[in-house]
Amino acid sequence: MLTRRWLLIETLGRAESWSVVASGSRPRAWTSFRRAVPARLQPIIAAAHAGGVPLDQVLPQSRHAWSALRLLVIPVLGMDGRVCALRVWVGTGEPPQATGVAPFRIDAVTRRVDTLPDGLGPHFRGDPISWLGAQSYATVERFDGALEFAATLARSAPDSRWLGTATVRGSTGPRSVLIAARNGDAPATTWFGVAVDVTESVPPQPKSFEASTLDLLRAEQPGLYLAIVDTARVRLIRWVSEPLPGPLWSVPDERTLPHPADRTRILAARNAIRAGTPHTALAGIRLRTGANTWLTVDVEITPIPGGTPGAQGPEFALLQMEAASPFALERPEPPYR
């Protein structure tokens, strides 16, 4: 067991699945709790988890490296009081500054993300945050595993887990954040996770070449808006550009935004992309901007790689949207389902 360095132990699943995901600010890939922590200390740490309150005690004399050292265990509590992780330190005197960590919860059906970022430290806002759909990517600068994570959430196979690192915008500049998430089986679509500030060990990454290329395209065509959707349900995953102004993107399901009469064309384009078509276009798609108003857009659709390794077809597509003038209908139309 490492001494004099904080360990972050995720406790997102059953006790036998607990693992170390960070040592100090260094990421660890699901290192088994039972292998990383001496057997004689495991019951003490498990008791701190069960109680949900910090533990501070001197360990007994022994012939082990941790003999008579100070043990600190600090639970990381989620929104509902659930213990999502444990900060563990063994040493003498006062411990070093602990790595910032924030718990989060994801509903894979509604794509709602709730988080308590206060524990991430002064580089991030401290009040609770709730995001819906693409809003959760609002501060992301680079996240190479984003589509794989989105595909994992969409499948939500019972007892799954996911780990990766993203570069996000903090209040003082870009920061590297480790994301570790697990689900269970009741229901499997509810995920719990922790976000860990690992900037001291993992430098923030610049935008990828592909993202920089899209930025150049956007600069040359300021009326162009770029977004990524899944091909399974045609749901918005994230904006590559700023959001297209006008449509009601904050609704729980963006599939209610297109005009009902346009649904057949949208699904036909989706099916073509999934069947291997390298490019398709839709002209005059109407997106809801209010109870009785719409914005027409022309859309070009291109499949993009990423997602589940070995998937039978593209799981995601890039949309390039150009807006025309808004217009109003004489009577309201119900959204399609």
pLDDT digits 0-9 by tens, 250-302: 777 788 899 999 999 999 999 999 999 999 999 999 999 988 889 999 999 99
pLDDT for 191 equals 98
pLDDT for 337 equals 38
pLDDT under 50: residue ranges of the chain: 328-332, 334-337
pLDDT for 213 equals 80
Find, among 280, 315, 294, 322, the residue nearest to 153 by Cα. Answer: 315
pLDDT for 67 equals 93
pLDDT for 331 equals 44
**Phi-psi label, residue 178: left if phi above 0, alpha if psi -120 to 50, beta otherwise:** beta
Q: Which residues of 31-48 are buried (b: 16+ CB within 10 A; e: fewer)?
A: bebeebbeeebeeebbeb
pLDDT for 220 equals 81
Q: Positive or negative CA dihedral for 213, 217, 219, 225?
A: negative
Peptide bond into 187 cis (omega under 30): yes
pLDDT for 2 equals 62
pLDDT for 16 equals 95
pLDDT for 126 equals 85
Quote the CA–CA distance of 164 and 153 in Å, as a whole number: 14
pLDDT for 326 equals 58
3-state secondary structure of 297: strand
Quote the CA–CA distance of 120 and 166 in Å, as a whole number: 14
